[in-house]
Structure 1
């Protein structure tokens, strides 16, 4: 009985040792597979991090170029602002000149009408002269006044045309400036958004890499 009991104990212990060795081998195999998988993930993480860092560097170069473009646009905007100020000053000057021309014209017309002593007809004004010499002078006067009035009308029209042209140019420059500012802000916001997204991705990849190494 004693021999049989000892034999049974030895067999049980042998089976336990066999199971323990098999279990250890399985664990080692599983660990080796897990390590291999983690190593592969580390390699992929390193490659992805490298690619993302390269993309971030490229974005940095684009941002620097964009900043140069923005500086150039700002310089152009300053030039446009200066041109707009010059045009505004010119408009004020032309407006003043136009008012002065119209006032002068109105006073001259009033003066000639008064000199006609209320007559509504040029011929009546001429033939109401007391002498032929006076009639001739009135005729010459009316002719000169007619030429002067035409010149003054032409001058007023020219000033009006210049004024309209300056206002059109001012409107055009305001549109150009608005378009530049819009494009500048859109480009800046787009690049900043890409930079923030890429920086966040780099941080995420580095954190994953540290976790995989651990």
Structure 2
């Protein structure tokens, strides 16, 4: 258990280091994004029957909340640091501009006084009439005009500088208020995370006292997931063989023979890598791949795809144009829809109702079925898996970043 939290700490440290080079605007956008994620997590991970959920699930959900909140606090701290730098820069600019304004005012005052003194001693007319020749008179006229324009420009510089200082002062006040809001937000988030960590410790203690029970429950779930994955693999093998039947050419074992239209669909699917929509608007509660269980590190989980938590009544949607390849049913009665996109297959498991039929053409965003909501726990989880022929891929590489 200690090792688990140590690994989490190292991951937070790595995330913090990677955030250092980001601008304040990037950090601000990241903070807004994390706030939305926390709001979604609080809604979806709390939408369960607290009396019936087991401690393992609760601990996993709570750890996910804490992880995101830690990232938010880290982002707020970095954004606050950037604001502090900007405030200092503003203060230096204001100080420099105030000195320049003082000098401008002094110079302008001396110029006005000199002009007034010159007028009392000798009028412009006498200044021109005392010229020795026409050329000298012309030069004196030009001098008077240039002096007048220079004086006007100096006056304008005083006004411009005064306005610039006002703008800087307004900006400084705004930045200080932003920092104040950020610090209050950070304070509130730290308070929430303290409460969540206390709850986390309580759950850890509960699990330790009944470790044998929870391990048996976990291993049972793993066996059930393996059985579902095996059934899907078998259905895909059969579907590929059936799809290839009667087509010209020779395919490699376990691979589709593609028509011209299917090749074009495949290419289009690949071009959209990283930009495909989510099959369900929710929160990822388990990532793809082989990974140690977050609580029992000695137990390994092979996650065939993404586990996405939604809300009751949510529907799974096709992430791309394709054709319903096949539909299977589990021993528990939940269903899996498989959609072919060229030689790619997306599978949508843990569905209660199905809105499509085998062989039907579907488009991006079409509803394929309603996600099953567990009556005991109240959880609505979609298992989303991506294949290329029979090889599983990481769906996170293909769908849009949340």
Match of 2:130 in 1: 131
Match of 1:81 in 2: 84
Q: Quick check: 1:108 aligned with 2:119?
A: no
Return the offset for 1:138: 5.6
Other structure's SS at 2:185 match: helix
Q: List gaps (5 residues or longer) in structure 2.
A: 1-49, 211-402
Match of 2:193 in 1: 191
Task: Determine if contact 2:59/2:203 at 8 Å carries over to the other structure.
Answer: no
The partner residue of 1:54 within 57, 60, 68 is 57
Match of 1:169 in 2: 171
The partner residue of 1:146 within 139, 145, 148 is 148
Question: Aligned partners of 2:93 and 2:71: how far apart in 1?
Answer: 33
The partner residue of 2:94 within 86, 91, 97 is 91
Q: Deviations over 1:15-40 (max 9, x none)?
A: xxxxxxxxxxxxxxxxxxxxxxxxxx
Return the offset for 1:91: 0.6
Paired positions, count: 158
Other structure's SS at 2:174 match: helix
Larger C-alpha radius of gyration, 1 or 2?
Answer: 1
- 1:24-63 matched pairs, under 5 angstroms: 51-63=54-66
Return the offset for 1:89: 0.7
Question: Aligned partners of 2:77 and 2:167: how far apart in 1?
Answer: 26
Match of 1:42 in 2: none
Question: Aligned partners of 1:48 and 1:198: how far apart in 2?
Answer: 17
Counterparts in 2 of 1:49 and 1:202: CA distance versus 1, 3 Å: farther
Aligned-residue Cα RMSD (Å) equals: 3.2
Match of 1:24 in 2: none
TM score, norm. by length of structure 1: 0.61
Greater fraction strand: 2
Q: Deviations over 1:46-104 (max 9, x none)?
A: x9797234323322222122112211211111111111111111111111111010000
